[in-house]
Structures are given as structure tokens and as C-alpha cells.
């Protein structure tokens, strides 16, 4: 065995021993490790990954989209998406997260029927590979559950064949009172099988049946899936709903130690197969729990910055940056080899759990009521004591920012751009939802047709209608796309906006939210300041302590900064990026 494979195998054995401690296995951990190495095709010439290495830079921008967010008659949606990227974003966006593009039965792709196929209505693996050859491809690994219509679950019902022992079951009299989950539906689903009635575990819905990772065959199956995705050009793996992976009856079944060890093991496999491939964990949980998925720079390379959306939206709706500033000050810098994945809108709603402990109950209630007044919907979860609690707000971001807690106003566009200008400048890699890029508004028809609150922010554009909207200067869509592209094209040229560049929070009062970024070579400084209120606010340059011997420029407007003791009057929701040159 080579000098590289032997230590890899030993590491896998150690990780497997930790995961399956106190579980009687049919195979030894040695045999399982060898199987994983074979499936991942890890040979003697593998290059060991270098720890604490950043595989990202200020040039990395991720577009988040469904494969069919844009459709064109007579063309597969993945081909239409590639055309849109090439025509509108190729000089701005270098990465694309295509949400689940597999055959599915519900939840807009997150109830996967077959992990090895591309949904024929979207296109083919050739279309996926074509996109991956021009853009860094991010794909979901829907690892907690699959569709109840999958072949695996069919075999579970029959009691034989691949998948017959892949699913977690419990008993009705088990103590499940402390299980944490984001849904109000019953946790267990009764299923008639060839071996009698079973009660399968369903964290999210009864069409989404949870895997039982106590069976190493499930882990091996997902190693095979990962290998196929790597072969098809996937560079970034989004571990969907990973926090719920491991279950123990009588426990809360979220963020368990075995879950963290599975993440570490999968990172070992993925990095060994492709040292530049990365993992981003999707853990919509309170902030302190979310941070644990960095591990010691040996778990996720990136974590979704879930607290940012509700805090930033709350800031812009209240005109007070206290909570956003306090949170930013509390966030540890991401060490080399890790990064934050920043976003303020996605295919899901705006999660409220990550704001728990950061916003008071009264403030959360006010936020929910304001979003409802702007046409949004609220999704609920059941707490341990049976209470119904707001889980997420479902609304298109453009509509979420059409006013303040006082009501709608004329600053919708400016407030929307301000939110993105803040997010683009923060430490981390920005992810931009396609409907934010296009200024898409609430889709009430899709909401009515699906009865799914999340559908309100999952509009499907007809390409001709979209191009007409983008060509009409009287509509906000063109203005949104042009302005966001301009901000991003400025961002990707600044070394101080590297995802791991230094960041310090500025103290400029309640209406000015600001932070300072410095490049890793310490040559560039950028002061990022936003007026988060609906009134003009003066920014005294003396508060920034700009070095008088250097020349300064405001990057967004391109204006030179003269007189470092003067004030700059910021219009409502205006952002400035003041940089030395």
C-alpha cells in the first residue's frame, strides 16, 4: 500500500470507528474503508489535501438557481440557463448553484427519486457537464432523506434488494418528545411492508423518508453518488439538511456528534478525490450551532451564514443597525481553509431560527407582521411544548424591502440595492439568488397553484418575457440587474474583498452600518458604510481615520475623496466603499 493510501485508510478507519461506536457491524471498519477507497477510485497517486488552504478568492460569486428558473419553448431548461449565464453574467458570475436537478416527487427537487439521473424535463448529464466546463458547479447532496417513490424505498417496502435496510424506523411508544424539526406534520409515517407495519422517520414530510446512517451501506451508497457528481464536474457540494442526519431515540436528533464525524469523513473522501472540491453545510439552526460545522477547519469548508438574512432585513426595516452590528462583532473570523457563504435570499424562505437569541420575541413578531403586510407568508413549526412558532418568512426579497415597519414607501429599489451592497462587501463568498439578480417579485399564481408558501419566491420566467423586461428601462428588472452587476464587477477587482480578508466592525451610530476590510497583504483598505435609514445621514470622514498620506476613492461612484475632515452626506440607503488607491 502506498505512502498516501495507507494513512488515508487509517484515517478513514478511525473516523468509521467513531461513527459506528457501539454499533454491531456486518463488516469491519477496515473492510468498509477499503470499499470507500475503491468506490471513490482513490489510487496510489492521490495528492494529499493541504490543510488551511483557501480554494476561493474575491472573484468567486455564486448564482443560486433552479434548473428551470428560466424556460424557453423547444429548448431544455438547462440549455436556456447556460444561454442566460453566457449572455448576461459570464463576466460577473463564475459559479452557479443549480438546485436539485434530479427526478423528484415533491419539495421542488428536495425529495429525490433517483440520485444518479438528471430530470429529463431539465436536460441531461451532458448539459450539466457543459455548464461545469464554463462555471464552477455547485450541487446539492440531499443526504438526510429521499423520496418515498424511490427504488430504494420500494425495496424497503418489499423487504429485499438495494435500499431495503436504508431507512430509519421507530415505534409509536418511543420517547420522541425532544426531537427538533422544522415541520408540524407527524414525525412517523406508518408503512405496510413485507415484514409487517413499520413506522418510518420523516423529518420534513411524509414524502421525504429519512435514511438510517447506522447502516454503513447508506454511507457507501452516498460515496458512489459523490463520485458520480465529481465525474460530472461538481466542485462544490451543498450538504442539504445535514444537521438532522443522525438519529438516536430519546435525543433531540440534531447536530449529534456522529453527524459531525460523517461530515469529516465525507470531507476526507472528497478532498482525496479532488483537493480543490469543497463542502458547504446547509444548517438552518441558531448561529452558535451553525458555527460548529467548521470543526477545527476539518469539517465544512463553508457554512451558510443563516443569521445574515433576517438580521439584515430587520435592520433595513427598522432603520436601526444595533443587532446587525452586535452580531457581526460576535462572529469569529473564518480561519484559512474555511469561509462564510453569505446570502440574503434563496429558494427557501428567510429563516427565523438563526435570529433566535439575537432578536427579541417582540422584535421577531414585528418583523413577521411587517413581512405579512408586504404580502409575504409565514411558515410554522411546533416547539417542544406544542407551541406554534414562526419558522421562516416566505417572500421575494424585492417585496420584503418595499418599506419599513411604518409601511410601504418610495425607497424599495434603493433599500434592495443597499442590502446587496452590504452582503457583497462582507467577509465570505456571496451567493445571489437568480430572482434577486432579476428583481423578481412575489409569484401569487404559483403560490395559489401549489399551496406551498415557498413557491411565492420560486417564479419561473419565460425567456422572451424576461428579455422584454430586461430591455424595458421603465421596469425595475433591468435596473436591478445592471446595478447588481456593477457592484459585483467592482467587488471582484478588490483584494480587500477576499473572503478571508480582515474585517472590523465600525461604530458610527444607529443609522450608519459600517465595517473595514483589509487585504491579506495589507496593501488595500476599504471602508464600507451604508445608510440603513430612510433619511439622509452625514458620514464624518474623520470617524474613519483615513490615512492622510494616501489617496482615497469611493469605488461605487468612482469619485475621488478630498478633504479627509469633511462630511459625506449619504442619501437614504446609499452605500459607499471608500478605498485607498
Give catalytic residues, as residue numbers: 240
Residue 549, C-beta contacts closer than 8 angstroms, at least 6 positions apart: none
Tell me the CA distances in angstroms from 4 to 1, 8, 9, 55, 220, one per residue in order: 8, 6, 9, 22, 21
Q: Where are the alpha helices (DSSP H) in 427-581?
A: 434-437, 444-450, 463-471, 476-491
CA 384/CA 323 separation, integer angstroms: 27
Tell whether residue 348 is among the known ligand binding residues.
yes
Q: How far apart are the C-alpha atoms of 419 and 437, rounded to whole Å?
A: 12
Going along 282-397, which residue ranges are E strands? Answer: 302-304, 339-342, 350-351, 377-382, 388-394
**393 neighbors 371 (Cβ within 8 angstroms):** yes
181 is in an annotated binding site: no
317 Cβ partners below 8 Å, 6+ apart? 367, 370, 401, 403, 404, 405
Asked if residue 238 belongs to a known ligand binding site, the reply is: yes
Q: Is 149 annotated as a binding residue?
A: no
Q: Is 107 annotated as a binding residue?
A: yes
What are the cell numbers at 453?
Answer: 408558501
Give the three cell numbers for residue 569.
452626506
Say whether 347 counts as a known binding-site residue.
Answer: yes
List helix spans (H) across 200-340: 216-231, 257-273, 287-291, 308-318, 322-330
Could you give phi then psi for residue 464, rounded to 5 degrees? -65, -45
165 CB-near residues (< 8 Å, 6+ apart): 156, 212, 215, 217
Count CA within 13 A, CB hemisphere, residue 262: 26
Q: How far apart are the first and last CA of the chain?
A: 54
Nearest 5°: the CA angle 383, 384, 385 is: 90
By the 8 A CB rule, do 418 and 400 touch?
no
Q: Cα–Cα distance between 278 and 254 in angstroms, integer? A: 23
DSSP state of 220: H
As annotated, the binding site for substrate includes 107, 145, 238-240, 347-348, 454
Annotated binding-site residues read: 107, 145, 238-240, 347-348, 454
Amino acid at each position: 500500500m502506498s505512502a498516501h493510501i495507507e494513512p488515508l485508510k487509517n484515517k478513514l478507519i478511525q473516523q468509521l470507528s467513531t461513527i459506528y461506536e457501539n454499533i454491531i457491524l456486518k463488516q469491519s471498519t477496515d473492510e468498509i474503508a477499503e470499499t470507500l477507497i475503491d468506490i471513490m477510485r482513490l489510487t496510489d497517486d492521490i495528492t494529499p489535501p493541504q490543510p488551511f488552504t483557501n480554494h476561493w478568492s474575491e472573484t468567486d460569486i455564486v448564482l443560486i438557481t433552479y434548473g428551470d428558473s428560466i424556460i424557453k419553448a423547444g429548448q431544455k431548461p438547462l440549455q436556456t440557463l447556460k444561454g442566460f449565464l453566457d449572455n448576461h453574467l459570464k463576466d460577473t458570475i463564475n459559479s452557479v448553484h443549480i438546485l436539485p436537478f434530479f427526478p423528484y416527487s415533491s419539495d421542488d427537487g428536495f425529495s429525490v427519486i433517483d440520485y444518479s439521473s438528471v430530470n429529463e424535463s431539465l436536460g441531461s448529464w451532458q448539459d450539466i457537464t457543459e455548464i461545469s466546463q464554463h462555471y464552477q458547479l455547485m450541487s446539492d447532496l440531499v443526504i438526510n432523506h429521499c423520496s418515498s417513490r424511490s427504488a430504494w424505498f420500494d425495496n424497503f417496502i418489499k423487504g429485499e434488494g438495494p435500499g431495503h435496510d436504508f431507512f430509519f424506523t421507530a415505534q409509536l411508544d418511543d420517547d420522541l418528545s425532544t426531537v427538533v424539526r422544522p415541520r408540524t406534520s407527524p414525525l412517523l409515517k406508518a408503512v405496510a411492508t413485507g415484514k409487517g407495519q413499520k413506522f418510518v422517520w420523516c423529518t420534513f414530510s411524509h414524502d421525504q423518508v429519512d435514511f438510517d446512517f447506522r447502516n454503513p451501506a447508506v454511507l457507501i451508497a452516498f460515496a458512489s453518488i459523490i463520485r458520480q457528481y465529481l465525474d460530472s464536474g461538481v466542485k462544490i457540494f451543498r450538504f442539504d439538511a445535514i444537521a438532522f442526519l443522525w438519529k438516536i431515540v430519546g435525543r433531540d436528533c440534531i447536530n449529534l456528534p456522529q453527524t459531525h464525524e460523517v461530515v469529516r469523513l465525507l470531507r476526507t473522501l472528497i478532498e482525496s478525490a479532488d483537493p480543490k472540491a469543497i463542502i458547504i453545510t446547509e444548517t438552518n439552526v441558531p448561529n452558535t450551532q451553525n458555527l460548529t460545522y467548521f470543526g477545527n477547519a476539518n469539517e465544512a469548508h463553508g457554512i451558510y451564514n443563516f443569521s445574515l438574512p433576517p438580521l439584515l432585513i430587520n435592520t433595513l426595516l427598522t432603520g436601526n443597525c444595533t443587532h446587525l452590528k452586535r452580531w457581526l462583532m460576535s462572529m469569529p473570523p473564518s480561519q484559512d481553509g474555511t469561509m462564510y457563504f453569505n446570502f440574503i435570499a434563496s429558494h427557501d424562505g428567510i429563516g427565523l431560527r438563526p435570529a433566535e437569541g439575537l432578536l427579541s420575541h417582540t422584535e421577531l413578531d414585528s418583523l413577521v407582521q411587517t413581512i405579512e403586510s408586504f404580502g409575504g407568508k409565514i411558515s410554522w413549526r411546533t416547539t417542544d411544548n406544542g407551541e406554534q412558532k414562526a419558522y421562516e418568512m416566505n417572500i421575494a426579497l424585492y417585496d420584503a424591502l418595499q418599506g419599513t415597519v411604518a409601511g410601504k414607501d418610495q425607497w424599495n429599489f434603493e433599500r434592495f440595492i443597499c442590502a446587496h451592497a452590504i452582503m457583497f462587501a462582507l467577509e465570505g463568498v456571496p451567493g445571489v439568488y437568480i430572482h434577486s439578480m432579476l428583481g423578481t417579485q412575489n409569484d401569487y399564481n404559483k403560490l395559489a397553484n401549489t399551496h406551498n408558501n415557498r413557491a411565492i419566491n420560486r417564479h419561473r420566467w419565460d425567456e422572451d418575457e424576461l428579455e422584454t423586461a430586461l430591455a424595458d428601462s421603465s421596469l425595475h428588472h433591468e435596473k436591478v440587474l445592471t446595478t447588481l452587476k456593477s457592484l459585483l464587477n467592482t467587488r471582484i477587482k478588490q483584494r480587500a474583498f477576499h473572503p478571508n480578508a480582515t474585517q472590523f466592525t465600525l461604530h458610527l451610530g444607529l443609522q450608519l452600518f459600517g465595517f473595514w476590510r483589509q487585504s491579506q497583504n495589507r496593501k488595500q483598505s476599504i471602508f464600507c458604510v451604508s445608510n440603513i435609514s430612510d433619511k439622509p445621514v452625514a458620514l464624518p470622514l474623520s470617524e474613519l481615520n483615513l490615512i492622510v498620506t494616501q489617496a482615497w476613492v469611493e469605488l461605487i461612484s468612482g469619485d475621488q475623496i478630498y478633504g479627509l475632515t469633511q462630511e459625506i452626506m449619504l442619501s437614504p440607503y446609499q452605500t459607499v466603499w471608500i478605498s485607498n488607491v
